[in-house]
């Protein structure tokens, strides 16, 4: 896919844009600036954006109830409503760690992971918040917990620990939420960038943002590279399908990386969109009243 097909939706110079989720309830793209502490709600037609300052590091969001959002923020989970942050639920006590990327599983559990703020390896864990609010760890020893996605059948979970330079695959029991059989799906050469956020399309193919590589890559279910989108900036953080027909791929980027900074006059930190030639799947809503 040629780089010319990539368009800018809005350029907010996000310090660390992440987690684009199509909010079909509102017809908006919801995404976060982790280090900026914002939840952004963007109209993809004109780029108009409502920015909600939530404070702290907001790693990911999920659609919650009729109109709210569930956040992986700071050292736990919280709900964002029209009145602000409520029902904060701490998960761990070490404030040297923070929550990072997270995605909702096929039945409404919010799965999100943690990482060390200073980048220390193997300090993070992957947590699962059930529909009743109960949180349990799935596994630990994670360096940089990042992308998550489920196959169409729901019995396979893709997972990225960016510290391993690969995408893993594991068996997922949707009834219990248990994971097993973790194995490598694909290894990404360092020269291509580091795997970050991921998204799955309606053809069961996996899209991965390559941090430092300036690309989003598409893999077939058997791990073959079958497509690539080239971005005009290197720090590509996540991707997600959106639009009324879920036929547009939105891509977040970062203006500031770990130990890196860029000129705010550039495109780093912009939200991009591309026609991927396929459709995505609708974001699962975490059940509940907010």
Are 136 and 120 spatial neighbours (Cβ–Cβ below 8 Å)? Answer: no
Q: 24-30: list long-range contacts, CB under 8 Å, 24+ apart.
A: 24/244, 24/282, 24/283, 25/63, 25/66, 25/67, 25/285, 26/67, 27/244, 29/240, 29/242, 29/250, 29/271, 30/61, 30/63, 30/69
| Residue 235 DSSP label | B
Sole residue written with tokens 């009145």: 83
- Which positions ≥6 away from 140 have C-beta within 8 Å? 124, 125, 126
Q: CA-CA distance, 71 to 40, in Å (whole number)?
A: 13
Q: CA-CA distance, 271 to 289, in Å (whole number)?
A: 30
Q: Which of 23, 101, 161, 196 is catalytic?
A: 196
Are 185 and 192 spatial neighbours (Cβ–Cβ below 8 Å)? Answer: no
Task: Return the exposure string of 26-36: e unless at least 16 CB atoms fall within 10 Å of the residue's CB, then b.
Answer: eebbbbbbbbb
Token duo for residue 111: 């799965």
Q: CA-CA distance, 68 to 85, in Å (whole number)?
A: 10
Strands 179-187 and 194-200 come out as unpaired
Cα torsion through 133, 137, 138, 141, rounded to 10: 150
140 is catalytic: no
Query: HSE (CB half, 13 Å, CA atoms) of 213?
Result: 22
- The residues carrying an active-site annotation are 196
């Amino acid at each position: 896919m040629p780089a010319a097909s990539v368009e800018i939706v809005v350029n907010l110079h996000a310090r660390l844009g992440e987690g684009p989720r199509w909010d079909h309830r509102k017809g908006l793209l919801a995404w976060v600036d982790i280090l900026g502490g914002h939840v952004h709600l963007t109209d993809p037609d004109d780029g108009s954006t409502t920015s909600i300052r939530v404070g702290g590091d907001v790693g990911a969001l999920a659609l919650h109830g009729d109109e709210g959002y569930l956040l992986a923020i700071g050292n736990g989970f919280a709900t964002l409503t029209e009145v602000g942050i409520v029902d904060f639920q701490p998960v761990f006590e070490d404030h040297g760690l923070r929550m990072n990327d997270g995605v909702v599983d096929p039945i409404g559990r919010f799965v999100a992971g943690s990482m060390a703020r200073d980048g220390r390896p193997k300090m993070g864990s992957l947590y699962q918040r059930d529909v009743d609010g109960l949180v349990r760890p799935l596994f630990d020893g994670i360096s940089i917990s990042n992308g998550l996605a489920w196959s169409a059948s729901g019995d396979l979970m893709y997972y990225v620990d960016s510290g391993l330079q690969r995408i893993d695959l594991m068996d997922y029991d949707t009834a219990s939420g248990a994971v097993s059989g973790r194995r490598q799906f694909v290894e990404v050469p360092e020269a291509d960038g580091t795997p970050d956020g991921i998204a799955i399309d309606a053809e069961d193919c996996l899209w991965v943002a390559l941090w430092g590589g300036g690309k989003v890559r598409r893999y077939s279910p058997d791990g073959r590279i079958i497509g690539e989108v080239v971005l005009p900036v290197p720090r590509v953080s996540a991707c997600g399908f959106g639009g009324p027909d879920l036929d547009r791929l939105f891509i977040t980027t970062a203006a500031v990386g770990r130990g890196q900074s860029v000129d705010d006059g550039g495109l780093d930190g912009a939200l991009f969109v591309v026609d991927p030639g396929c459709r995505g799947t609708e974001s699962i809503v975490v059940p509940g009243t907010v």
